[in-house]
Structure 1
């Protein structure tokens, strides 16, 4: 679990420098600190934390940090200037702990470059608000997903997968090789927010799911769009990395989200020792 602490500490350092850049009106520097923050989010969300840990351990001890050669060929519209900024900051900060945070951030961008993910991260930085929550794999059934989870040497962690149309959270702990998954409610609150003011009229209508899926291949949602299938509203969600859509029945999703909230609230009230609310309160 040490790598999670290392990344969290480095992220807090980056956030403090971002705040300083905002206060002093240094817009370009602010953008670069934001970029490294989203780079860390990308590595975390795609389940590459242990992979980055291995990369860190493979660096030559005591070697001065440098920009990856993969960033020297004109790639990295944000990565290259970010590394150059961090190299300057490395010389400026006085405390050994601060220097270590900067080294981790440089290594993070080098890791992304050396693994060929710079374009993906820069696209994520610019456009992530237009994408659905990242899922790294999709399975037809839970049995299929569990067979994969137990069979792979080191699953991505933490990371979302899709089982059918539903999000599940994967977790894996390298220290004792434990792993598991659980249903997570990621899309449901988004559907709640999107429908709060009513579903806009004019949603395309289809007789069957197959017909809707075929239409979505040439009309991808960006990242989501309402459609009507057999008279019922669905939210079509585009998963760019997986090159597919999920379809979420709106009425069922809203009902499941309310049930989930009640379950969580009940559990919290039990832990706090408060009596559960009476029906109708």
Structure 2
């Protein structure tokens, strides 16, 4: 199964495990597992993870079942809280794998367990911690790079020895997706409506109440540039139109996005139920 599809199957497993009424501990564990899958996708590490799994498979026939995840093992630099949470999450899914009723879920569970090991052994705790904090704060979609022109972005993707499989980048202030298909060495940077969908979802949860108002975009840009440490996002008013001021801190870019970008984009809040499974 292609690695992208395998990660989707692991995400579907988390959906099946989620319950309307469950303990705070189980809820936190399932959230953590979801964040780790999201981290792999958001950072475009599908192929690196796929290669990691192949190396694991060659170690031992019982590669997953016999492994433990110690919070202090090599490569576990970063937040102690995240290390400990990931260790608990690993333990939960290891027990699930050993249970009598998980025959159909063996592979998705193994995917999750391997993701946990991948993060630990590659020293990704700090990056995962930051990713989790951004998701929990509802921060704008994260980009991994920023460019001035399409040509610059294309040159970067074509000359990168280990490009991201799929990841968001900025060209100017506009979101694009950098795509790499390893089997055919296909590389492309194309516009992607990440901010449009983000704004459509954000306005449902965070009322667009401006913290500042400006007569022109130039005045708003000067204000945003002058902020010492701006938050990830803030609503502002520019010439009577609501905008979202965004700080793309990791690529040192600050941008203004009109709320009108969300026009015509809707968020599907209804989730189709998974088909019932026999016990």
Q: Helix, strand or coil for the counterpart of 1:135?
A: coil
Mapping of residues 1-281 of structure 1, within 5 Å: 2-19=2-19, 22-23=20-21, 25-59=22-56, 60-62=59-61, 63=63, 64-67=66-69, 69-70=73-74, 74=80, 76-128=83-135, 129-191=137-199, 200=209, 203=212, 205=214, 208=219, 211-216=222-227, 218-226=228-236, 228=238, 234-248=243-257, 250=258, 254=260, 258=263
Structure 1's 212 and 227: CA in aligned 2 closer, same or farther, altered over 3 A? farther
- Which is richer in helix? 1
Contact 1:78 1:122 in 2 (8 A): no
| TM-score where L is the length of structure 1 | 0.76
* Aligned counterparts of 2:139 and 2:211: Cα–Cα separation in 1: 22
Structure 1's 7 and 115: CA in aligned 2 closer, same or farther, altered over 3 A? same
* Aligned counterparts of 1:4 and 1:195: Cα–Cα separation in 2: 30
Contact 2:76 2:125 in 1 (8 A): no
Contact 2:225 2:254 in 1 (8 A): no
Contact 1:170 1:182 in 2 (8 A): yes
Structure 1 position 48, deviation (Å): 0.8
* Aligned counterparts of 2:143 and 2:132: Cα–Cα separation in 1: 17
In structure 1, the gaps of 5 or more residues are 262-281
Give the aligned partner of residue 271 of structure 2: none
Structure 1's 201 and 133: CA in aligned 2 closer, same or farther, altered over 3 A? closer
Q: Which has the larger radius of gyration?
A: 1
Structure 1 position 93, deviation (Å): 4.0
User: Cα RMSD over matched residues?
Assistant: 3.1
Greater Cα offset, 83-92 or 196-205: 196-205
Structure 1's 58 and 227: CA in aligned 2 closer, same or farther, altered over 3 A? farther
| TM-score where L is the length of structure 2 | 0.76
Q: Helix, strand or coil for the counterpart of 2:183?
A: coil
Structure 1 position 149, deviation (Å): 1.1
Q: Helix, strand or coil for the counterpart of 2:68?
A: coil
Write out per-residue CA displacement over residues 183-214 of structure 1, whole angstroms, 9 at most, x where no aligned residue.
12222354567779996455164855763343
